[in-house]
Chain A
Amino acid sequence: MWRATVRNLLAHKLRLALSGLAIVLGVAFVSGTMIFTDTLGRTFDDLFASTAADVNVEPAAAFDSGLAGTGEGVGTVSSVPATVVDTVRGVDGVASASGFVRTEGVYVLDGHGDVLDTGGAPGIGISWEPDPALSSSTLVDGRAPRGAAEVALDVDTVDKAGYALGDSVPVLTTGPRVEAELVGVFSFGDSGGSAGASLAAFETSTAQELFGTPGQFSGVGVSAADGVAQEALRDRVAAAIGDGFTVRTASEQAEALAGDFEEGLAFVETFLLAFAGIALFVGTFIILNTFSMLVAQRTRELALLRALGAGRAQVTRSVLAEALVLGVVGSTVGLAAGFGVATGLRSLFGRFGLTLDGGLVFATDTVLWSYAVGVLVTLVAAYLPARRAARTPPVAAMRDDHVAVERSLRRRTVLGGVLTAAGIAAMVSAFVVEDDGAAASLVGVGALALLLGTIALSPVIARPFLRGIGGVLPRLFGTPGRLARENAVRSPRRTAATASALMVGLALVSGFSIIGASTNASVDGALDQSLGADYVVSTAVAAPFSADIAEQIRRIDGVDSVTQQRLGQAQLAGVQTSVSAVDATTLDSALALDYLAGSTAGLRGNGLVVDEDTAAGRGWSVGDRVEALLANGQRVGLTVGGIYTTNATLGSAVISLDTFTAAGGEALDRFVYVDLAPDVDAAAVRSSLEATLEAYPVVTLKDQTQFADEQKGQVDQMLMIINALLGLSVIIAVLGIVNTLALSVIERTREIGLLRAIGMDRRQLRQMVRLESVAISVYGAVFGLLLGIVFGTGLVQALADQGITQQVIPAGRMVLFLAVGALIGVLAAVWPARRAAKLKVLDAIATA
């Protein structure tokens, strides 16, 4: 039997190549995603978890406020006073200790005075640590910065900006804007990478002045004397400095930061995992489809083996052996191709500014999953039809007119029906459920069930659908059209499986585009309603910037009021919430809030105003007292002073700037709203505003429309990244269609020969294959779009409380997707159609 297996593999080189390709594609998709995810993770780990010190001291956070770098965790500056550093130095077993300063919102400008593009990654300011035992930065050129007028930058930033030692570098700090001479270049972490973030290092005292507080530190790095264990030192340091500080060993620190990373980038990770899941799904489909076709084609050959005396088990084993060989080879090649996919993803993310340095990460998990997918799926894919083939009585299979009977679809109908019903039930209940999170996950679960249900039902729907839609083919294209339609419906399972990959891809793409369009429309609506100020000053990604800016704007003639908005985290009655902090006296001129109860006046002092959903969800009404715990551990009693309708700009809860500042909230603005005095020359004021802001390229001045456009631009960019990733699954789906079509052409060689013999010309033959392909892909596209619309609208409904209040189905884009679906059919058919047309008539007739 082994000889028969090997012979068989070699005898059908093209078939072999096509089925191998299916495995390679499937595995490459999975391994590429995993390699990329790991590389992304490594880079961020390096950035945030690089720590050279044996023990780290930081001010204790009242609660975990999220990851530095996601813009969520910088709401408070609680710091370590210099006296604590001295205390630590005195602890027995400490070799050296020094305080460090580190903050976000410090931006390096390039030679043109523009902010260096970090692609959304933070601009970080640090104090230069001269002790290599405490520093995770290593000088690669120049020397350490000294005094107020010297700076050192990380390698990537220097490269990007094109600076050389001795150049004067403008830096926007969280305090003033400064010009400093570049005296040193350093690499950061183990891989030297900073994930796109820029790092500017100043001498410690300068750092404190520019972006810290004199005499205060962000933390203390401690190195242990020889022979002192990190754990022992940690305990001693903790005992020496008392409460209010977190003391961690190097590995604890790394773990804590990695934990923060997991949380902070949970979205990216979840998305990439979901993406890997889709990859697995699509890859599995292609392999399964290909193998069931291969074994079906060989039914007669297997029957011959059976007739010659091979047992059922022997036949099955021979098919499995073949699948094993193919699976192993295909997975290995696929694994290698995965590097190509990961490289592509990296350059894609690079184009959006997220540079991943160092080599790609190749983890054991990747190898295991790749082989699991490639080999196991191939084995299963081969086993099912092989078992069926082995069961076919030899005589039946060898009869000349033996047609593989389409098995009953009853089981699939039942399974698909149940799944679909469950999916619909889950989605409907999502509308009823109060909790946003639960609603979103119900929509997610419902969507998955609906997707699987549709896939199971797909062969049942395929026939009537294609007969209906395919009705136009004969009318438009004559006989090739009719033959194409008949070919598409002759094996509904195959057609359905082929279309499924495309269906999944398009369902996701169209679902996301509905969410995107709805978000944009909601942003539009929310801003139209809520923005009362004439101008907004902010960065594109709500990054923090120096309060100096608001100060300078206040001094401009013609400016009536300036409202600063800051962001932070707080526990409100025990539940962690993102809060905005604004000036209660000017809020009404900045934002037109629609109060259901109370008013902005209720914000004054230790007031709290919340949106309607928060009020309803927490059961608060005006006059209630709410215990707040701020990130630095300070407790404040707040009084609910107003309840407003959902507002995208403010978020769900607002406290006054006074409360925020008193609780040690970070003095960095996220938005500054500028309202002009009546009867001033708006153009003149605008030009003075622009002149003032020229020194701060990190922020831009936007009128109401420009602000709305910027917000929408962000949604669009996000969509672009998502769609680029999903596009990959669509490409794989296309290759899957090519594969199925090519195998169909091989399977129908004799038919094609007959058609050619009785007078069908090559053009007509090509058209026949092309139309079949288009029919299949349009089928996939139509159901993909339908599912996408259900998913998209479902999620938008579930997210209504998150500010996505408008429901928009972008009709133009949906039509475009459908057209793309048809185009995919045309493209996928190019090669199989050419192959069909090239068949020599006689060879085709002679093929057994």
Chain B
Amino acid sequence: MTSVRDIPVPRVGVEAPAAARSAGLTKVYGEGDTRVVALDAVDVAFPRGVFTAIMGPSGSGKSTLMHCMAGLDAVTDGQAYIGDTELSSLNDRQLTVLRRDKIGFIFQAYNLLPTLTALENITLPMDIAGRRPDQEWLETVIDTVGLRQRLGHRPSELSGGQQQRVACARALANRPEIIFADEPTGNLDSRSGADVLSFLRSSVMEMGQTIVMVTHDPVAASYSDRVLFLADGRIVDSMISPTRERVLERMKAFDVQSEA
């Protein structure tokens, strides 16, 4: 893990233009007795070229935040923006196109279509759009994830780590404005997880990609530029240039808080 420390961390500043941001973002599930405020007037910005990790206890609203920001779920109140586009003003078709062209996704599991080869999975968003992939860029991405030998394999012939790397490559290949990853290493052993994380890290460094990653693993968080801490649907803290130890300490504070 020491290698992470060697990577120069880009400056995170307010002046950087946001790839995505929210204003007073509120999400309420249910009504009456079952009413749950999953997000409570969240104001957040994800600057371009920055790797942001979102942490927090289970049920704190991490996934909900990601879904609302990515246009997968409707918000109850407030606004979510991708670039300058306000999501609630879009209809389903426009949202679909936005997801296809501007957003990359990496889920915890089940990222790939079992019937397609690795390469076909990688180019799927562009195929759906009916666009030819930028060949040079594609080669770069493939080399970066190190899957050249496996391009013709189907997901069932790949290990879990390799599958997640294919998912990463797919997210990157389309050159999206922003990539959302929901616990991308949650199902992987630590070595495969480290592979995937280094890859995400380097895509930010070398390709200037913007990444938002939900995780509850302090090691994973340590690969990011900054960590946002979520509790009860609110952002309660943030940390620039996190390390495993500092994150762990901060998390312990949560536990103490919640026990108190």
User: What chain A residues lie within 8 Å of B101 (beta carbons)?
Assistant: 759
CA distance A482 to B73 in the complex (A): 29
Are the CB atoms of B96 and A759 closer together than 8 Å?
A: yes
Instruction: Tell me which of A403, A482, A757, A760 contacts B114 (CB under 8 A).
Output: A403
Are the CB atoms of A486 and B93 closer together than 8 Å?
A: no
CB distance from A841 to the nearest CB of B (A): 5
Residues of A in contact, count (CB < 8 Å): 25
Are the CB atoms of A754 and B127 closer together than 8 Å?
A: no
- A401 at the B interface (CB under 8 A): yes
Instruction: Tell me which of A754, A760, A762, A842 contacts B110 (CB under 8 A).
Output: A754
Interface string of A449-482 (1 = CB under 8 A from B): 0000000000000000000000000000011001
CA distance A422 to B129 in the complex (A): 51
User: What chain B residues lie within 8 Å of A482 (beta carbons)?
Assistant: 120, 127
Are the CB atoms of B114 and A750 closer together than 8 Å?
A: no
- B107 at the A interface (CB under 8 A): yes
Interface string of B51-88 (1 = CB under 8 A from A): 00000000000000001000011000000000000000
Instruction: Tell me which of B96, B127, B170 contacts A756 (CB under 8 A).
Output: B96
CA distance A201 to B73 in the complex (A): 81
- B156 at the A interface (CB under 8 A): yes
* A761-B93, A762-B92 known; A755 vs B113 contact (CB < 8 Å): yes
- A751 at the B interface (CB under 8 A): yes
Are the CB atoms of A759 and B129 closer together than 8 Å?
A: yes
CB distance from A578 to the nearest CB of B (A): 62
CB distance from A645 to the nearest CB of B (A): 61
Instruction: Tell me which of B73, B96, B115, B125 contacts A483 (CB under 8 A).
Output: B115
Shortest Cβ distance from B96 into A: residue: A761
Are the CB atoms of A486 and B116 closer together than 8 Å?
A: yes
Instruction: Tell me which of B96, B105, B125, B130 contacts A478 (CB under 8 A).
Output: B130
User: CB within 8 Å of B: which of A472-504?
Assistant: 478-479, 482-483, 486-487, 490
Interface string of A739-763 (1 = CB under 8 A from B): 0000000000011001111111110
CB distance from B28 to the nearest CB of A (A): 15
User: What chain B residues lie within 8 Å of A759 (beta carbons)?
Assistant: 96-97, 99-101, 125, 128-129
User: CB within 8 Å of A: which of B30-69?
Assistant: 67
User: CB within 8 Å of B: which of A396-414?
Assistant: 400-401, 403
- A845 at the B interface (CB under 8 A): yes
CB distance from B157 to the nearest CB of A (A): 10
CB distance from B36 to the nearest CB of A (A): 15
CA distance A401 to B114 in the complex (A): 10
Interface string of A265-291 (1 = CB under 8 A from B): 000000000000000000000000000
CA distance A479 to B100 in the complex (A): 14
User: What chain A residues lie within 8 Å of B156 (beta carbons)?
Assistant: 401, 403
CB distance from A373 to the nearest CB of B (A): 35
Are the CB atoms of A490 and B115 closer together than 8 Å?
A: yes
CA distance A758 to B98 in the complex (A): 9
CB distance from A675 to the nearest CB of B (A): 73
- A378 at the B interface (CB under 8 A): no
CA distance A841 to B105 in the complex (A): 13
- B192 at the A interface (CB under 8 A): no
Are the CB atoms of B187 and A758 closer together than 8 Å?
A: no
Interface string of A810-848 (1 = CB under 8 A from B): 000000000000000000000000000000011001000
- A208 at the B interface (CB under 8 A): no
Interface string of B105-146 (1 = CB under 8 A from A): 101011111111000100011011110000000000000000
User: What chain A residues lie within 8 Å of B125 (beta carbons)?
Assistant: 758-759
Are the CB atoms of B99 and A400 closer together than 8 Å?
A: no
CB distance from B153 to the nearest CB of A (A): 13
CA distance A487 to B128 in the complex (A): 16
CA distance A755 to B99 in the complex (A): 11
Shortest Cβ distance from A484 into B: residue: B115
CA distance A754 to B156 in the complex (A): 17
CA distance A72 to B199 in the complex (A): 88
User: What chain A residues lie within 8 Å of B115 (beta carbons)?
Assistant: 483, 486-487, 490
CA distance A483 to B128 in the complex (A): 10
CA distance A757 to B128 in the complex (A): 12
Are the CB atoms of A754 and B97 closer together than 8 Å?
A: no
Are the CB atoms of A754 and B96 closer together than 8 Å?
A: no
Instruction: Tell me which of B67, B100, B170 contacts A842 (CB under 8 A).
Output: B67
Are the CB atoms of A758 and B100 closer together than 8 Å?
A: yes
* A478-B130, A486-B116, A487-B115 known; A401 vs B105 contact (CB < 8 Å): no
Are the CB atoms of B110 and A750 closer together than 8 Å?
A: yes
- A39 at the B interface (CB under 8 A): no
Are the CB atoms of A479 and B114 closer together than 8 Å?
A: no
CA distance A486 to B107 in the complex (A): 23
User: What chain A residues lie within 8 Å of B114 (beta carbons)?
Assistant: 403, 490, 751
Interface string of A762-803 (1 = CB under 8 A from B): 101000000000000000000000000000000000000000
Instruction: Tell me which of B97, B107, B170 contacts A761 (CB under 8 A).
Output: B97
User: What chain A residues lie within 8 Å of B120 (beta carbons)?
Assistant: 482
Are the CB atoms of A400 and B187 closer together than 8 Å?
A: yes
User: What chain B residues lie within 8 Å of A761 (beta carbons)?
Assistant: 92-93, 96-97
CB distance from A766 to the nearest CB of B (A): 13
CA distance A764 to B96 in the complex (A): 11
CA distance A750 to B170 in the complex (A): 17
CB distance from A398 to the nearest CB of B (A): 13
Instruction: Tell me which of B99, B112, B187 contacts A757 (CB under 8 A).
Output: B99
Instruction: Tell me which of A490, A762, A764 contacts B128 (CB under 8 A).
Output: A764
Q: Which of B99, B120, B155 has the most CB of A within 10 A?
A: B99
User: CB within 8 Å of B: which of A726-750?
Assistant: 750
Are the CB atoms of B127 and A478 closer together than 8 Å?
A: yes
CB distance from B253 to the nearest CB of A (A): 30
CB distance from B243 to the nearest CB of A (A): 31
Are the CB atoms of A479 and B67 closer together than 8 Å?
A: no
Are the CB atoms of A760 and B105 closer together than 8 Å?
A: no
CB distance from A779 to the nearest CB of B (A): 17
Shortest Cβ distance from B187 into A: residue: A400
User: What chain B residues lie within 8 Å of A479 (beta carbons)?
Assistant: 124, 127-128, 130
User: What chain B residues lie within 8 Å of A845 (beta carbons)?
Assistant: 72, 107
Shortest Cβ distance from A756 into B: residue: B96
CA distance A487 to B113 in the complex (A): 10
User: What chain B residues lie within 8 Å of A478 (beta carbons)?
Assistant: 127, 130
CA distance A487 to B116 in the complex (A): 10
User: What chain B residues lie within 8 Å of A762 (beta carbons)?
Assistant: 92-93, 96
Q: Which of A486, A487, A762 has the most CB of B within 10 A?
A: A486
CA distance A754 to B129 in the complex (A): 15
Are the CB atoms of B72 and A841 closer together than 8 Å?
A: yes
CA distance A483 to B120 in the complex (A): 10
Instruction: Tell me which of B73, B111, B160, B163 contacts A754 (CB under 8 A).
Output: B111
CB distance from A246 to the nearest CB of B (A): 73
CA distance A750 to B108 in the complex (A): 12
CA distance A479 to B125 in the complex (A): 10
User: What chain B residues lie within 8 Å of A400 (beta carbons)?
Assistant: 109-110, 160, 187
CA distance A483 to B121 in the complex (A): 11
CA distance A756 to B98 in the complex (A): 11
User: What chain B residues lie within 8 Å of A483 (beta carbons)?
Assistant: 113, 115-116
Q: List 27 A-B pairs, Cβ < 8 Å.
A: A400-B187, A403-B156, A478-B130, A479-B127, A483-B113, A483-B115, A486-B113, A486-B116, A487-B115, A490-B114, A751-B114, A754-B111, A757-B72, A757-B105, A758-B105, A758-B128, A758-B170, A759-B97, A759-B100, A759-B125, A759-B128, A760-B96, A761-B92, A761-B96, A762-B92, A842-B72, A845-B72
Q: Could you list 20 further interchain pairs (A-B, Cβ under 8 angstroms) beyond the known A482-B127, A758-B125? A: A400-B109, A401-B160, A478-B127, A479-B128, A482-B120, A487-B115, A490-B115, A751-B110, A754-B110, A756-B96, A758-B99, A759-B101, A759-B129, A760-B100, A760-B128, A761-B93, A762-B92, A762-B93, A841-B72, A842-B72
Q: Which residues of B contact A (CB under 8 A)?
A: 67, 72-73, 92-93, 96-97, 99-101, 105, 107, 109-116, 120, 124-125, 127-130, 155-156, 160, 163, 170, 187
- Per CB-CB distance, the 9 closest pairs between chain A and chain B, nearest first, are A759-B100, A486-B115, A479-B127, A761-B96, A760-B128, A758-B125, A759-B99, A479-B128, A403-B156
